[in-house]
Structure 1
Amino acid sequence: MTRWFRSHWAEEDTWFYFEVDADGWVTRQVELQGPLEKPIAASLTEWNAAQQAGTLADYEATFGATAEVPVHQWDIRDPQDLTIGEFETVWRTARAVCQTRARARSTWGA
């Protein structure tokens, strides 16, 4: 069963939003960093596809990466359950910001 939750890590000043599969692996992850909540939003499926296509560096520059171990191996700080709707709202917003940032980078580099 899929689960959605968030957790705030004060020492990093970051909110982490997770979608986790039945085995505890993060399938999608959003990080909102710092007081401006700069987003990073990665999908494990997309990350794997980028790795196979040889475009992982570009993917991670735009979206970041998901956690590399199942959540049951973590010291999760006060997890707060989310509905799929709450997670999807954060996911869509964060992804849009990441994509806009990537377009701006490619324009500046041109």
Structure 2
Amino acid sequence: MTRWFCSYWAEEEAWFYFEADAEGWVTRQVELRGPLEKPVAAASLAEWEAARQAGTLADYEATFGATAEVPVPEWEGHEPHELTAAAFETVWRTARAACQARARVRALREA
């Protein structure tokens, strides 16, 4: 069963939004940082794996970041707040758009 939740990590001044599979592995992850909650990551495990196999992992991570590499049950002490799928999707779409816009700006600067 898929579940969605978020957690605030004060030590990093960051909100993390997660979609996790039945075994607790993160399948999608959003990271928002600072008081303005700036999107800095919106990664999909499936996309990350495809980029790794295609040899484009550095580009993918530069644009979208990466998902957590440990199952959710190992994150004790971070007090997760359950979310609906719709609430997660709203944050996901907004963060993805911000990551893609940043990548376009970076590409223009490098051109």
TM-score, normalisation: structure 1: 0.97
Q: Which runs of 5+ in 1 are unaligned?
A: none
Coordinate RMSD, CA, aligned: 0.7
Percent identical among aligned pairs is 74
How much does 1:70 deviate? 0.5
> Structure 2: which 5+ residue stretches go unaligned?
none
Residue correspondence of structure 1 range 12-51 to structure 2 within 5 A: 12-39=12-39, 40-51=41-52
Question: Residues 1-110 of structure 1: matches in 2 within 5 Å?
Answer: 1-39=1-39, 40-110=41-111
Query: How many angstroms apart in 1 are the aligned matches of 2:75 and 2:81?
Result: 15
Q: Give the counterpart letter for 1:100 in structure 2.
A: A
Any idea what SS the aligned residue of 1:29 has? Answer: strand
TM-score normalised over the length of structure 2: 0.97
Give the distance between the partners of 2:8 and 2:37, measured in 1 at CA. Answer: 12
Q: How many residues align?
A: 110
Letter in structure 1 aligned against 2:46: T
- Give the letter aligned to residue 54 of structure 2: A
